[in-house]
Amino acid sequence: MKIYSSLVSHYSAAKYTSRHNPRETPSQPPSGGTRWQRVSNAWRSALLVGCIGISWQPALCRAQQAGEDPQDAQVLTRGPVHEAFAGVVTFNPEPGVVVPKAAPEAIEEVPPAERPEGANVTWIPGYWAWDDERNDFLWVSGIWRSLPPGRQWIAGYWAQVADGYQWTSGYWADATAQETTYLPAPPATVESGPNIAAPAENYGWTPGCWLWRQQRYAWQPGYWAAGRANWSWMPAHYVWSPRGYVFVDGYWDYPVARRGVMFAPVLFGAGVYGRPGYSYSPTIAIDLALFAEQLFLRPSYHHYYFGDYYAPSYHQGGFVAAYSYQSSRVGYDPIFAHQRWEHRQDSSWAQNVADTYQYRRDHENARPPRTWAALQTLQANPAEAKLNRAVMATPLDQLAKRKDGPLQFQAVPQQDRQKLALRSQEVQKSREQRRTLEAKGSVASVVQPGAAPQPATVKLTKSPIVGKAPAKLKQSEMPPAVPRTPKTDLKILPNSASPAHQPGLEPSVPGLSPREKVLPMSPKTDVLPREKVAPSVPYEKVVPSVPRDKMAQPVPREKVAPSVPREKVAPPVPRERVAPPVPREKVAPPAPREKVAPPAPRERVAPPVPRERV
């Protein structure tokens, strides 16, 4: 990592002293609104470009010396993933995490000297994220991003609330959208996974989602859709904001390996980022070939995390391994879903992923290093290197020399780096505009008592980061057509379940508490009360086993049983009784004929003795 500690010292000394205060409330207008501030901001930008152009090479030398001091900055090989690189999809979106102190002012970030090739690649600046282990902020470095076609990046922001400072996540909005609609809280999801078999092996499941239709929510069932080798489908979902819930329709994004370059997060020492003219340029990249194997999701913090979060304590803190995230019915992981689709012909792939996670959970020496310094020590020790621990980070210049990777790199001209260095100011301005817009009250709190919440539609501030329209890309770079979705099911009523949170309400305790609130809203726990009143128990009480024995004695069953009647009316018996030979013998028997003309009476009628006496 190159630390530009004295890149623009004269520029910073002449800064206007009323720079944006991160502790101001959301209702306060952003600083720089006065005429003097606008002039000052323009002067600062021009002077920054001039200073960078004049003292570029000397600053590089000083930056390398400053970066060698571990007290200046510690490069981490684990931490949160930039939201613009990968966003979390939760079925029941919650308010952002609330932390006890304000985030520092954004660091002046200079893009690296090399970037991936492509006409749709740009630099997205970093931001501050909360590290609850250290109870302090860490810097999520900027990224080189292959922009999703037809989408614009709406950056997240920190805002002051009653209990502290709350994070509102960013999202990729439709680039053609002119307005933003803030909706009432959607009902709890009824998504329970596929209920029919896939049409073919190359199909993947897309979860269902609530859609706002005719002033109410209607359920759109999940569906099977054909996967694509070079594209990953981001399903429709909602993003929480203080004003309401923003619906993000589904879109095609690049697979992780083709999204660009993600750089290691940085833990700055106390007071380092407050030095006059302090800026830095990230140079330690995360190896995306191993990135997805070390991926975790933390729904309560609305971020992916990569690296060593294998210890059981992290699971208790809300970290969920990617392979088990979807089975928990909490949300959908498009990264893991695309991986599983790529390995669809390997029936043991998912089990191998689970086995690897469990092995690293149980064997600490198999886990990847947590810092860049620890990784260098590991590589210098042959005995430790034999443990085959994942090497997730590498210098950008070494990554750019790889010829077998999915990305090819090109040098960034100096003037382009100067322009991109000012991108952070444009993004910060869009953050402030969004924060002010969303601080005007929740859609759930501006209606009449007893009336249903109604959406609020406002003009969308154009983002400085916009992807090219699909029609403007080459034929080989155009995304596939949007999958056909099923019709909404109006039979599923949205009032059958209540949402986890209302807009504008934040969880009091960050970390595990928000996750515990989400769990009861899952479909599995919704079924538990029904099991208690399930008809199986009443049936056993109303028709117990004893009455059944009394009402159905063995004797009656034998009489009525089909086996006994069949033996009595068996075909052989009736045939013998009505057989023709028997009746014929009885109708014309020989015995009656012998009795009608017996020989004995004839002998008695003419006896010989009486004739002799006469």
| Whether the predicted pLDDT of 441 surpasses 50 | yes
What is the b/e burial string over 126-137, where b = at least 16 CB atoms within 10 angstroms of the residue's CB?
Answer: bbbbbbeeeeeb
Residue found under tokens 């009143």: 533
| Residue 431 pLDDT class (50, 70, 90 cuts) | very high
Model confidence over 319-354: pLDDT tens digits? 999 999 977 789 999 999 999 999 999 999 999 999
% residues pLDDT > 90 (the chain): 54
**Per-residue pLDDT averaged across 541-554, rounded?**
39
Tell me how far apart the alpha carbons of residues 279 and 5 are, in angstroms, rounded to a whole number: 6
pLDDT at 370: 95
Model confidence over 191-203: pLDDT tens digits? 989 989 999 999 9
pLDDT at 531: 41
| Whether the predicted pLDDT of 608 surpasses 70 | no
**Per-residue pLDDT averaged across 292-319, rounded?**
95
Q: How many CB atoms lie within 10 A of CB 278?
A: 22
Q: How many CB atoms lie within 10 A of CB 250?
A: 17
| Whether the predicted pLDDT of 261 surpasses 80 | yes
- For the ranges 155-164, 207-216, 268-277, the lowest mean pLDDT is seen at 268-277
What is the token pair recorded at 278? 């302090």
Tell me how far apart the alpha carbons of residues 442 and 433 are, in angstroms, rounded to a whole number: 17
| Whether the predicted pLDDT of 489 surpasses 90 | no
Model confidence over 217-230: pLDDT tens digits? 999 999 999 999 99
pLDDT at 360: 94
**Reported pTM:** 0.72
200 DSSP assignment? S
Q: Where are the domains of the chain?
A: 2-531
